[in-house]
Chain A
C-alpha cells in the first residue's frame, strides 16, 4: 500500500496531498533509515503560524508493511511520542518530499516552500509569543509553568488522544485522561463537587487564586470549570502569564471561545462551561491516566 505525503501550507483550502509510488516510498524509508543523529527537538509545525509548516507522511495500518506516520519540518523527522526524532541534515528528507510532489506543486508554491525551508526561525521568540500579547497578560508567579507550545499537542499522534485534563497537567498519556482514574476515584457527578475531588485524588490542590509565587517543584496554576450536568474543562496558566487550553480532541489554543487572549479563566468566554469551580495547583509529580 502506498505512502501519502501531505504538504502543510494552507489554512482555508485543503493541503496538497499525493501518493508515493512503491519505489519512491522505499527510497524515502532508506533515507530515514540512514539518519543517525537523534534529537529531542520537535519541528515547529503550526507554531510557526500561517504558511509552510512541513510535510506529513502516512501509511495506513492496513498496509502489509504496517502503519507509518511522521512529520518532517525544519530539518527534523518527528516520528511521534514513542519514537526517536532524527536530525535531517541538510534537510535531505524534506527536499526529497518536496521533489516527490513536484508535478502537483506549481512554480510559485515550489519557490515559496524552498524559501521557507531555508529559514530557521528563532524558537525561543516563537515560544515566548509576540511581546504585545505578553504585555496584556498577568504576571506568571509559577517557576514551573509550562511554555505555550501548541506544536507539542496539535499533531495527529497526540491531538485526538489527549484532552483538556492532559493539557492542563502538561502530560501526554494518550488515554484521554480522566480526573481520578489513576487513583480509583472516578468523577461522581458533572459538577464542581463531583469533579474536583477526583482531581485532588490525582494530586492537584485547590487554591484561592493564581497570584502566590510558586517556586521550582511547586508546579503551576490550572483552573476547573463545569458545563453543568454535561462535562468539565480545564485551563492552565503558561509561563507568559496568559492561560491556554485544549478543548477535548481539538487543538490546543491560547484564546477563549470568543477568540480573545485569556488573562483569567474565571472571566473569559467559556461557552457553555458556566460554572467556575476553582483554581488549582498541579505539578510534574501528579499522576493522571
Chain B
C-alpha cells in the first residue's frame, strides 16, 4: 500500500510469486539501524511511504499488522532496519504498476529523489 491519501483509500496491490519472494528475501537481508537511531516520522499529509503487510503463512488467509518503509528505514514491528539509498522504497514504487496513476507516481519519485524525506 502506498500511504499517501487522507480521504480516498490508499492505492494497494498484492505481490505474489517471485515478487513476494524477492521482498521477503530483501527484508531478511536488511541491516539493523544503529542503536539510538530513530524513525523520522513522515509528514501528516501527502506521501508517507509504503505499508507492507505479510501473510501469517503461505496457505493461510490472515495478514499480520502492516509495517512502514519510508525515508531510508523500515520500521518492522520490533526492528528498525536500514533501507540503503531507499532502494526497497523505490522497488515498491515500481511494483505498483498500474495501481498508481502516472502523476502520483511522479510525485513519489520526486519525494524519493529529495535528499531528506
Question: Measuring CB to CB, which residues of chain A are less than 8 angstroms from any residue of chain B?
Answer: 12, 14, 17, 60-62, 156, 163-165, 176, 178-179, 190, 195, 227, 229-234, 245-250, 253, 255-257, 270-273
Contact = CB atoms under 8 A, between A and B. Distances in A.
Majority SS at the chain A contact face: loop
Contacts of B38: 12
Interface residues of B, number: 26
Contacts of B21: none
Nearest to A233: B6
Contact of A247 (B45, B56, B77, B79): B45
B44 A271 contact: yes
Contact of B6 (A12, A164, A255, A256): A164
Contacts of B65: 156
Contacts of A17: 78
Contacts of A195: 7
A247 B62 contact: no
A250 B48 contact: yes
B17 interface: no
Contacts of B6: 163-164, 231-234, 245-248, 273
Contact of B103 (A12, A179, A229): A229
B8 A231 contact: yes
Contacts of B80: 14
B73 to A, nearest CB: 12
B5 A230 contact: yes
Contacts, number: 80
Contact of A257 (B5, B10, B46, B103): B46
Given A60-B56, A61-B62, A62-B56, A231 B44 contact: no
B104 interface: yes
Interface string B44-82: 111010000000100010100100000000000111100
Most A CB contacts (10 A, CB to CB) among B38, B44, B79 go to: B44
Given A257-B46, A270-B45, A249 B3 contact: yes
Contacts of A250: 3, 44, 48
A255 B62 CA distance: 35
Interface of B: 3-10, 38-39, 43-46, 48, 56, 60, 62, 65, 77-80, 103-104, 107
A231 B2 CA distance: 13
B45 A14 contact: no
A156 B46 CA distance: 22
11 contacts: A14-B80, A60-B56, A62-B56, A62-B62, A230-B103, A230-B104, A233-B7, A234-B7, A245-B44, A248-B6, A256-B44
Contact of B45 (A165, A229, A233): A233
B44 A176 contact: no
Nearest to B8: A231
A14 B79 contact: yes
A110 B39 CA distance: 26
A104 B78 CA distance: 14
Nearest to B51: A249
A247 B44 contact: yes
A39 to B, nearest CB: 27
Contacts of A229: 103
